[in-house]
Copies of this chain bind each other. A is one copy, B any other.
């Protein structure tokens, strides 16, 4: 089973490779006799031809590859590892439907290497949860014109399009369900500090009432310090399930940011913060891809 090329097809069908290419790609402006088209198509079929996308990329200058790059440190706890699983699934599914192939790459939180973008000539990239201070080096070594959608990261750089969830709205909703109660908050950590800070600011309570999740032991302690009868507003459903081990689920409101609202404990309340974050990110990417350049679009998009 050796590799079949258009040359083989050309020979088989007694045409030139150009003609084969025209036909296989349905080139719009090329008129082809039904007869030759048919001959070529059946030849291709018979020979079991599969195009070589690397070769195609080389000449078309489009690879059809989209990257999903996620910031990750070594030894992350399970709730952190799983955090973007849903988003990756969704994006991958949507992109695949659209005919793109997805390159998945974790990048080290400490020293993010994004060489893959240039090396693989990715057509577009999702960058997830990136430290603020790394954006400079990223944008510096960056092939201009590659659509770059930054997720869950705040950064002052007009090069990037950013998608974040509407934590303010989610917060309002959650709070509206708990009026008149003492509340404590648990939020999820991001490598992007400004984002964490923005969420903190939006919440605007004292440090004693807010915990940025780090590990289960600290969480336990934090919760145990809260006055009896307090209500908890927890960001992220994985963290929520942990909190539910130490607080009455009925006292909790979980803000779902990982796309798994079904997993929150039965008696806890939940508000979904990302209804369609993947969808939005995807659509933004498609827009950028098709415009093939700058877009007169808000650089910040808040989901839902």
Query: Contacts of A291 on B, CB cut-off 8 Å?
Result: none
> CA separation between A167 and B31, bound complex, in Å?
60
Interface residue total, chain A, C-beta cutoff 8 A: 53
Q: Measured between C-beta atoms, what is the minimum distance from A12 to chain B in Å?
A: 19
Interchain CB contact (< 8 A) of A85 among B50, B82, B101, B216: B82
Tell me which of A37-45, A115-123, A125-133, A192-200 binds B.
A115-123
Q: Measured between C-beta atoms, what is the minimum distance from A31 to chain B in Å?
A: 27
Quick check: A119 and B51 within 8 Å, CB to CB? yes
**A26 at interface, CB cutoff 8 A:** no
Quick check: A54 and B260 within 8 Å, CB to CB? no
Within 8 A of B (CB), among A237-272: 238, 241, 245, 259-260, 262-263, 265-266
A104-B104, A105-B101, A106-B96 given as contacts; is B263 within 8 A of A78 (CB)? yes
Q: Measured between C-beta atoms, what is the minimum distance from A160 to chain B in Å?
A: 16
Quick check: A103 and B105 within 8 Å, CB to CB? no
Query: Contacts of A262 on B, CB cut-off 8 Å?
Result: 77-78, 216
Interchain CB contact (< 8 A) of A105 among B51, B77, B102, B265: B102
Most chain B CB neighbours (cut-off 10 Å) among A3, A54, A120, A265: A54
